[in-house]
Amino acid sequence: MSLEADSDAHAADSAARRDDLLSALEVIEQQPLAERAAAYGALHDDLARRLESGPRDLSA
């Protein structure tokens, strides 16, 4: 895989993740306030879990 193709794939993946997040936020915003709070909490937990499971920079 060329560097350019790898970059394009990364950009497409980033765009898909952003679209997924925006879709999730739209769904949450349509819910009643109490349900919204719980849904934002669940989204936070999911994003935090993804962040923690990602690659780590051990050079710092």
Residues whose CB falls within 8 Å of the CB of residue 31, separated by 6 or more in sequence, listed in order: 39
Q: What is the pLDDT of residues 31-57, one digit of tens each?
A: 999 999 999 999 999 999 999 998 877
What is the C-alpha to C-alpha distance for residues 34 and 7, in angstroms, rounded to an integer?
41
pLDDT of residue 5: 66
| pLDDT above 90 (res 26) | yes
What is the C-alpha to C-alpha distance for residues 36 and 32, in angstroms, rounded to an integer?
6
What is the C-alpha to C-alpha distance for residues 15 and 22, in angstroms, rounded to an integer?
10
Confidence of residue 60 (pLDDT cuts 50, 70, 90): low
pLDDT of residue 3: 63
Confidence of residue 12 (pLDDT cuts 50, 70, 90): confident
pLDDT of residue 55: 81
